[in-house]
Structure 1
Amino acid sequence: MAAKTTPQRKINSGFGARTSASDVLRDIDLTDTLALVTGGYSGIGLETTRALAGAGARVIVAGRRPAEARRALAGLDRVEVAELDLGDLASVARFADDFLASGRALPIVINNAGIMAAPLHRVGPGWEAQFATNHLGHFALVNRLWPAIARAGGARVVSVSSRGHHGSAIRWEDIHFERGYDKWLAYSQAKTANVLFAARLDAWGREFGVRAFSLHPGAILTPLQRHLTREEMMAAGWVDAEGNGADPTFKTPEQGAATQVWAATSPALAGLGGAYCEDCDIAEPEDVREYALDPEQAERLWSLSAELTGVDAAAG
């Protein structure tokens, strides 16, 4: 039976903006289901790990600071930590090779790790770090892990994007900001890439039973804001002079984790994929930019990413 295409509109999931990750999983048994969560030891990643493990899943938390991850995850059962630097393709290859050598299938991948509004920094052969870390690293990771993902049967890959993608399409003529850097445009481009990657992965992966989603987790105060000054966040209305939250629309970290947990596990999404989600539901069309779901843009980005990273599972 051919996989259904997914209209970009709400499915009335029964959840909403204030749903927590544990609420999403209340009636879902993930006993011994293996999940990979990049950056799953900080912010909404930590809450994602807690919720999945609490529902019985075995969770691999992969990140740049394994010692810090072990401290943050101390006391959680069914969690293992592995080193992974998404800005270093050699690190991505080592992690993937080690995982594949274990022979395990991988039914859930949550591409959660990322950086936001960072000062200009270049990695690898001169790549802009936000595009490289948020997109290219995850692209290479999923492509290298593809044998384990496809073998799982019914796997889901979830890419954490943001409404920040509204700020920029892919800057094809200057992706790596060789002609002047803007930290917010760089972040927006990277978040658009996350949406396009999920759309293209789903279009290809559904033949293998693999579905992919992207999402906006909501606005949450977490270490993701580490590169912003208090003054910048005060000017945006996010915090007060003492650094406390000042915007009542912001979510808690557990609420922020809910949409990615929902996208990774919800039975309501069976047979669906390729959509952009918000507040534990598929988002309405006006909430996602057309360029972020455009099949031609998605194909172009996939081809470029394969060229840059040297990996392409779709090439056969």
Structure 2
Amino acid sequence: MTKRITLKCSANDGTPLEATFAPDRGMNLTSYKRGSTEVIDQSTSPLFEERCAGLGALIGPHFHHRNPKVTPPVANDSLFPHLAAIKKRGTTEPFSHGIARYVPWQTEATENTVQAIVTGKDEWQGVPLADLEGQDFTITYDATLTSEGLNIRMTVRSDTDSVIGLHYYYNLPKGTGSITSDVRNTCMENGIERELDSKWNLDNQNVLRFDLGDEADYGFRPSKDPCGGTIILDAGDYRLRTRYQTGCAENSWQLYHPKGSSFVCIEPLTAEDPRKPQLTVSILDALLTIET
């Protein structure tokens, strides 16, 4: 049975707040609630069980898929059952979005805080994580649940340029919603920078309102503050405000919403182009506030 850590607190109006993590399964944020309002899409649990995707997954030390030329081979696939499902999908990357989301983390917790760490020297199924990721690294994840919301500080220190981020699957109870954030006039799509679509609602203050009736897999960068941004998800039954800072201009956020899906992912990252990170040390501070 997967271990769970649940943080508890109350909002300023007395409404209970709860955040639940699975430290043995990549520090996945399996639930985040204000009262009875659950913002993590529970229907993505099968993805989590199958291959550590879905629910509240993490990113790091790499984004999406590595170049096959530099991806270390896995000596024994049978040690890692998720690889069978991945290969059925025709995917060659064994650990999409980085090894950190797949493995047990070391943790210490109180009623409303958790401190977690994973390193390349840790072993999973008897294999050092550095051998699976292709480099040594240390990632920390500290979370504190306060009346304002879930405060997260995530850090990485690595041998080669790396990226960290949040890949949380937020519930769209009405099947749609909207995203509002200040952004630059260009976005990243499949690693290529391009102009924003003319049909997107971008005002003269560079505030984008993206209708989640459309599919999305785009990377945006903040326009007002080069070191971080604020992204507001209006899901109808609730609003989620994501505020993040990285302390430097190496940051962006990915918006991922497959057409017709029950979720949207808002992914703050410590790289302008997460496929080409530029830092061996980076910090991500984020505050996730549920508004009902």
TM-score when normalising by structure 2: 0.26
The structure whose residues are more often helix, as a share, is 1
Give the structure with the higher percent strand.
2
